[in-house]
Amino acid sequence: MKITELTGDVKAYGDGSMGGKGAGLARINECLIPHSEKIRTRILATSFFDRFLENDGEFGDDERGVFISILDNLGEGPIGVRSSATNESGMSTDKEDLVHAGEYQSYMLPNNHPDPAIRLRMVQQAISNIYQDFIEKQPPASTEKMAIILNPVHGVYDETRAGPCYYPCISGVADSFFPHALKGQDPQGGFARIAFGHGYATILDDFPVISMATIKDPLPLKLLQIGRGQRYFYALDMTRNRDLGGGELDTMAKLHTRFADPRRLRVLGMEESFITIEELIQNDRFQFRTGLDEIMGTISSEITPHFQIEFVFNINTSDMEADGIFHIVQLTPLPELKRESVQMPESPRHTWLAIDNVQGHGVIRGITRAVVISPFLYEMEMHDEVRESISEVNTTMREQGENYILIVPGRLGSSNRDWGINIDYRELNHASAIFEYGVDIAGRAEPLPEESGSTGGIYGSHFLYMIQGGHDEEKKRLKTRMQGTQGTHFLTNLIANNVIYGFIAPTEDTLDPWFFSAPDPTRALSVLTFPEPVAIYGDSLNQRCKVVTDNG
C-alpha cells in the first residue's frame, strides 16, 4: 500500500485525493502555528473509497492491514474518524457551490476496549457508515469521492457521576471575516463560536453557547446580551466502546454542566450553573484570546486570507499559570467576497420585501419564483413533510436551472425543531435568498411565548447578528445581541456561497401579503410565481435588502 509522508506527522495511504479536510490539515501542518501543537493525521485517500465500491461495501485484507497499522500507531485513547469528501472546502469537481461544510458523517470513538479486534471493528464500521452516508447523498452521475481522516482526540478524562467521559476544555469555530462588525471594529478581526466540551455544541445549535464579536478586541460579553451562558455540553462516553450504530452521536453523551469537573469550570468563568467563559475572553486567561488572534493572523498571512477553522483548547489544571494549548482540527478556505456598495432602487414599480437586517451582498436578477412556508399554517408536526417538500422543490429548480426566494418561519437549519426546520444546505442550494419570519422582533434565538395571533407562531430567528436602535454608536453597543449561531455548518455554507439571508421583523419591515396567498390553504408550503421577474438587492455594508420588480 502506497504511503505518502507529508510535513508534520501526516501520512496519506493509497492514491487519489485527500479530500477537503485532509488537504486543509496538511496545509496547517506545513506551517508553524503559534500557541498550538500539530495534530497527528492519518488519511485514507479516495482509492480506499474506490475499492470499497468495487468490493460491494466490504474491506479487503490490504485495507484491514492499514487500519491495524494506523491504530497501532495512534495507540489506545479516543480517536476521530472523519469524512473528507472531494466536494468539501471548495474542492468540488462540480463548481455549482463554492463550499460544502458539515454534510457528511464523522465519528469520535473511545478506542479503549481491551480487545484490539473490537477497536478495529468499530473503526471499520465508522468508515463504512461514512462511505454509505456519502453515497446516499450524491446526485446521479456524481464524480465526487470520499477520503477519511483519523486523528487522536485531544481532551481530558473525567470520571463523572454519569460515568467516565472524555472531552476538550474548549471547542470552537472561528472565521476570519466578521460581516456585521460595529463601527470601530475591524471586520477582518473575525468572529468565533466556542463551547465547553466537544464541538457538536458549536455546530448542532441545540442549546446556547458563547460567541465572540470580534476575536480582536471583543465587546464585553454582558453588553452582548447573550443570555446567561452554556448549561449543557457534549462528552465522549467512554463506555460506548463495543458497537457503533448509524448516528454520529452514538458515542456521545449530552450532560448538564454539573457533571463536569468543577475545577475546569471555575477557571473558565461561571455564574451559578452557567458557563460564561468570561475568564478566557475578557481576562485572556491561559492566553486564549490573544492566542486565537495570533493563530488567525498566522493562517491569514501564510495560508489563505479568508477561512474558517475548527479547534480545541485545553489547559493543565495542575499548573494554573501555564498557557493553554490549541489544536487546529480543520481548515476550510473561504472565497473572498467583494463588498462593493449596492445602489438600492429608490422608485421601483413594486416593492415586494424590504428589511434592515441582512447577510450576503450583491444584486441578483431574473428571479421568478418564491417558495413560502407560511408561519400561519406551519406546525411542528409538519416538519418532516415540509422538509421533504423543500428538498423536492429545490431538486426541480436545479434541474430547470432556476433559482428562487425562500421564506420560512423560525431558525432554518437548526437541529432544534422547536426553533425551526432542520434542513441541510444541499437541500436548498438553489435559493438565491432566504428570509426568516419570526415572532421575536428583537432577533432572539430562542422562541418566545406567543403574545398574539397576528404573527402566526412562536418562532425566533436564526439570524447571525442584530443591531437594534439608532445610529449612535453607544446606543448600538448597548443593544447588540450576538445570536450564538455563527459557525454552524449551515451558516458557513450560506456565507461562503453568498446567499442573501435576512430576518423579517413582522411589525417593522415591508412584506407584501401576496407571499401568504397560498393557493391551497391546507398546505404550509407554496410555490408562487411573481407576476413579473424580480431583482434582489442585498447590501450587508449598510444592512438593507429589497426585493423589487426588476426594471431591467
What average pLDDT does the segment 301-306 reach?
92
Check pLDDT > 70 for residue 338: no
Of 329 and 381, the one with more pLDDT: 329
Note whether residue 218 is domain-resident: yes
391/271 same-domain check: no
Residue 339, helix vs strand vs coil: coil
**C-alpha cell of 173?**
469555530
Cβ neighbours of residue 266 under 8 Å, at least 6 residues apart?
Answer: none
**C-alpha cell of 304?**
489563505
pLDDT value for 203 = 79
Check pLDDT > 50 for residue 476: no
Residue 193, helix vs strand vs coil: strand
Query: What's 206-244 look like in SS3?
Result: CCCCEEEECCCCCCCHHHHCCCCCECEEEEEECCCCCCC
Check pLDDT > 70 for residue 543: yes
Note whether residue 478 is domain-resident: yes
395 near 472, Cβ under 8 Å? Answer: no
327/366 same-domain check: no
Check pLDDT > 50 for residue 330: yes
pLDDT value for 245 = 86
374/517 same-domain check: yes
Cβ neighbours of residue 456 under 8 Å, at least 6 residues apart?
Answer: 374, 375, 376, 377, 378, 409
By C-alpha distance, which of 232, 157, 164, 168 is closest to 197? 168
What average pLDDT does the segment 213-227 reach?
61
Note whether residue 345 is domain-resident: no
Q: Of 105, 129, 153, which one is at a domain's C-terminal end? A: 153
CA–CA separation, 526 and 305 (whole Å): 41
358/383 same-domain check: yes
Q: For residue 67, which phi and psi values (nearest 5 degrees)?
A: -60, -45
1/85 same-domain check: yes
Note whether residue 474 is domain-resident: yes
pLDDT value for 269 = 87
Confidence of residue 227 (pLDDT cuts 50, 70, 90): low
Q: Of 282, 310, 336, which one is at a domain's C-terminal end? A: 336
124/166 same-domain check: no
CA–CA separation, 99 and 92 (whole Å): 8
CA–CA separation, 432 and 498 (whole Å): 8
300/373 same-domain check: no
Please name the helix (run of DSSP H) or strand (run of DSSP E) that holds residue 278, with its range, or none: helix 278-281
Residue with C-alpha cell 471575516?
Answer: 177
Query: What digits encode the pLDDT tens for the residues 6-62?
Result: 998 999 999 999 999 999 999 999 999 999 999 999 999 999 999 999 999 999 999
Note whether residue 342 is domain-resident: no
CATH of the domain at 53: 3.30.1490
429 near 394, Cβ under 8 Å? Answer: yes
Query: What digits encode the pLDDT tens for the residues 99-112?
Result: 566 678 999 999 99
CA–CA separation, 476 and 462 (whole Å): 20
What average pLDDT does the segment 429-449 reach?
62
Check pLDDT > 50 for residue 453: no
Note whether residue 341 is domain-resident: no
pLDDT value for 368 = 96
pLDDT value for 103 = 77
Percent of the chain with pLDDT over 70: 83
114/75 same-domain check: yes
Break the chain down into helix, strand, coil percent, rounded to 5. Answer: 25, 30, 45
Query: What digits encode the pLDDT tens for the residues 242-266?
Result: 999 888 999 999 999 999 988 888 8
169/248 same-domain check: yes
Q: What is the maximum span of the chain, computed from C-alpha positions, in angstroms?
A: 73
Q: Of 271, 305, 336, which one is at a domain's C-terminal end? A: 336
- Count structural domains, the chain: 3
Query: What digits encode the pLDDT tens for the residues 56-98?
Result: 999 999 999 999 999 999 998 999 999 999 887 554 445 555 5
Query: What digits encode the pLDDT tens for the residues 511-542?
Result: 999 998 888 888 889 999 999 999 999 987 77
143/173 same-domain check: no
202/137 same-domain check: no
148 near 130, Cβ under 8 Å? Answer: yes
| Its pTM surpasses 0.85 | no
DSSP state, residue 139: P
Q: For residue 236, which phi and psi values (nearest 5 degrees)?
A: -75, 120
Note whether residue 299 is domain-resident: yes
Check pLDDT > 70 for residue 445: no
By C-alpha distance, which of 423, 215, 434, 424 is closest to 307? 215
Owning domain of residue 251 = 154-336
Note whether residue 421 is domain-resident: yes
* Amino acid of residue 417: R
98/187 same-domain check: no
CATH of the domain at 208: 3.30.470.20
pLDDT value for 390 = 96
